[in-house]
Amino acid sequence: MSAPLLVGEGIGLQVEGAVLLDGVSLEVRAGEVLGVVGPNGAGKTSLLRVLAGETAPTSGRVLLDGRPLARYRPRELARRRALLPQQTLLQFAFRVLDVVLMGRYPHRESSAERDLEAAQGAMAAADVAHLAPRLYPTLSGGEQTRVSFARVLAQETPLVMLDEPTTSLDLRHQELVMGLLRSLADDGAAVVAVLHDLNLAARYADRVALMSRGRLAALAPTREVLRADLLSEVYQHPVVVVPHPQRDCPLVLPGTSA
Amino acid sequence: MSGADPAGLTVAAGPASGRGGRLALLFGGLAVLLAGGAVASLALGAVEVSPGAVLRIFLHHLGLGEGTGFTGQENAVVWSIRLPRLLLAGLVGSGLGVAGAALQGVFRNPLADPQLVGVAGGAALGSTAAIAAAGGLLGDLAGPLGGFLGGLAAGAVVYSLARFRGRTEVVTMVLAGIAVGALGIAGAALLGFAVDRPELHSVVFWSLGTVSVATWRLVAVTSLFVVAAALLLPFFSRALDLLLLGDREAQHLGVAVERVRLAVLGLAVLASAAAVSAVGVIAFVGLLAPHAVRLAAGPAHRVVLPGSALSGAVLVLWADLAARSLHPPVEVPVGLIVAVVGGPVFLWLLRRTRIQHGGWG
């Protein structure tokens, strides 16, 4: 096994007296998809923000390639990790191509041709190439998400982090985005995705981090975490886990209350 | 989408190849308007000077002509009155235009403008206070320097009120800006009454603006600030583009958000404070110039910043020409002309923007 790309050591985060994260330790390795799941308010987004270097933890630390995040210069960090936020509100009438090209900002040495090539490749992968000349504010929510995803791909980083990347997407595009993440990992990237849909985690994640009230309730290979007893307890609702009728993965369903 | 200018839509939304031509057209057109306005400003007025005589006066001052073909009066009018006035109008317009563009970018808000965010009012008060307190010590620099500090303080107050949990609240910002701006203008006017010194300006000056105060010294001081801001701001073009995605996104993409924000705010305040302390508050330039450029050529700051400087200069130059030509020998405050022309144009721009990409929400 290679050395972990990203290491979180005893991460704690307190904001205005509220404990958002408490003693979270994890490692992310190149080639894996780590799904982060948990109920609302469990700290999934906070964890992602700390791991991305956006928010400094109040205790513990995060190392990328063995080096604390705080010691990276902004552009240098942006060449190593990209993050897709839940929603990007952009009111100004940039064309889709311009938005995707913004992902090339950290690559200062890159030529204009290379930037365009990366942007076009990313747009094709995210199925937004046909939207290239459109103005971003005129797109639907799902289209905007895919454009932002293309921007993240154009950043060409070995670590890709995503906050609920599939929320506003239709079924086909959910599968498309998750499949792309899978192949990014197969090509050697490390992917950390906060996922609302447990079945997307079941299908695409190698390991799952299950968050509960700011702590890690479990961090293990997907099948070991997506168990009915564990999920029922953390989500405080009966959960049924059955084999997927077509795919080799579990299928998670809400059960009936006793 | 069948508006009056379908070509505007296709090109603004069109492929990259169409943009070069459109940019050339925009900047070429603005340059022609600027040059035309300059010639007209030099030639027209109570003493009419023929363009040929204007040219000979210029050559004479450049040490090229033989100093004939114009009268001494024409020389004085063109070189000592009209030229500094023309330059000041252009500088003030550039400063307000580029400051508006920068503020809108850094606040991610199409409403931001030196006047609306309170910077202009703060600059008026700071400038007045500095002239009253330290005019003897600092001379001509007292106004712009005090204006810069006052504008900066006003901007800081408004911004800190509008920031809440890492977000900028738009409505709070505008409301606070209106309050701070009104306070600043009123304070400047009150101070003018209280101190009663001839070099302090009246309330009409502060609220409507006039370029008639132009002197070569004022041009020199103002250009120092405006040119510095206009030359430095474009270095932040790409970072400002990314800031429009949101602070978090910009940070993820490698922008040193706080540093860029402070630098851009400082430069925008520098330009607008210099403009305000020189000629008073001219509303609308900071809104009209950037919005017009965005509609014509898209929102990229690489284009919007220089485009706003240029179109702001054109706007104030022509407005000042109208201000002193409409009703001679009485001068109409230049801010009135800008509002009369700018108001309807801005309304039209809003409508076009809605057609183009759905308005501002």
User: Mean pLDDT across chain B, nearest whole number?
Assistant: 85
Question: Tokens 């509100």 identify what position?
Answer: A89
Q: Search chain A and give the residue with CA nearest B252.
A: A78
Structure confidence at residue B285 (pLDDT): 93
Residue B316 clears pLDDT 70, i.e. is over it:
yes
Residues of chain A in contact with residue B300, where contact means CB-CB under 8 angstroms, are 94, 98
Query: Along chain A (258 residues), what's the average pLDDT of each consecutive run of 10 residues?
Result: 87 93 95 95 94 94 94 95 89 94 93 94 94 92 93 96 91 92 94 94 95 94 93 92 90 84
- Name, in order, each residue with C-beta under 8 angstroms of A145's C-beta and a sequence gap of 6 or more: A87, A165, A167, A168, A169
Structure confidence at residue B17 (pLDDT): 46
List the structure tokens of A107: 């690559």
Residues A115 and A80: their CA atoms lie apart, in Å, by 17
Q: Is A75 at the interface with chain B, CB within 8 A?
A: yes
* 3-state secondary structure at position A239: strand
Residues of chain B in contact with residue A139, where contact means CB-CB under 8 angstroms, are none
Residues A96 and B19: their CA atoms lie apart, in Å, by 15
Residues of chain A in contact with residue B251, where contact means CB-CB under 8 angstroms, are 54, 74
Phi and psi, residue A254, nearest 5°: -70, 140
Whether residue A137 and residue B358 make contact (CB cut-off 8 A), yes or no, is yes
Structure confidence at residue B15 (pLDDT): 42
Structure confidence at residue A1 (pLDDT): 54
Q: Is A102 at the interface with chain B, CB within 8 A?
A: yes
- Name, in order, each residue with C-beta under 8 angstroms of A49's C-beta and a sequence gap of 6 or more: A55
Average pLDDT, integer, range B309-329: 91
Query: Could you count the other beta carbons within 10 Å of the beta carbon of residue B217?
Result: 11
Whether residue A83 and residue B252 make contact (CB cut-off 8 A), yes or no, is yes
Whether residue B14 and residue A133 make contact (CB cut-off 8 A), yes or no, is yes
A159-163 and A190-194 beta bridge pairing: parallel
Residues B49 and A52: their CA atoms lie apart, in Å, by 66
Residue B199 clears pLDDT 70, i.e. is over it:
no
Contact B146, B128 (CB under 8 A): yes
Q: Which tops the pLDDT comparison, B247 or B17?
A: B247
pLDDT tier at B6, thresholds 50, 70, 90 = very low
- Record the pTM: 0.87
Q: Search chain B and give the residue with CA nearest A52.
A: B252
Residues of chain A in contact with residue B248, where contact means CB-CB under 8 angstroms, are 54, 83, 85
pLDDT digits 0-9 by tens, B90-134: 999 999 999 999 999 988 888 888 888 899 999 999 988 888 887
Which among B226, B258, B224 has a CA at the least distance from the CA of B239? B258
A81-84 and A159-163 beta bridge pairing: parallel
Contact B162, B169 (CB under 8 A): yes
Of A82, A97, A138, which is closest to B357 when you measure between CB atoms?
A138
CB pairs under 8 A between A and B: 83
Residues A236 and A172: their CA atoms lie apart, in Å, by 30
Strands (E), chain A: 6-15, 18-28, 33-37, 59-64, 67-68, 81-84, 159-163, 190-194, 207-212, 215-221, 239-243, 250-254
Q: Which tops the pLDDT comparison, B265 or B2?
A: B265
DSSP string, B215-229: -HHHHHHHHHHHHHH
Residues B275 and B81: their CA atoms lie apart, in Å, by 19
Average pLDDT, integer, range B308-324: 94
Residue B313 clears pLDDT 50, i.e. is over it:
yes
Residue B139 clears pLDDT 80, i.e. is over it:
no
- Name, in order, each residue with C-beta under 8 angstroms of A71's C-beta and a sequence gap of 6 or more: none
Average pLDDT, integer, range B7-12: 36
Q: Is B215 exposed, middle or buried (CB count within 10 Å of its CB: 0-12, 13-18, 19+)?
A: middle
Residues A68 and A53: their CA atoms lie apart, in Å, by 9
Disruptive mutation site among A15, A75, A91, A107 for chain B (greatest number of B CBs within 10 Å): A91
Structure confidence at residue A258 (pLDDT): 60
Average pLDDT, integer, range B68-88: 89
Residues of chain A in contact with residue B170, where contact means CB-CB under 8 angstroms, are none
pLDDT digits 0-9 by tens, B272-288: 988 988 888 888 899 99
- Name, in order, each residue with C-beta under 8 angstroms of A9's C-beta and a sequence gap of 6 or more: A25, A60, A61, A62, A63
What is this model's ipTM?
A: 0.89
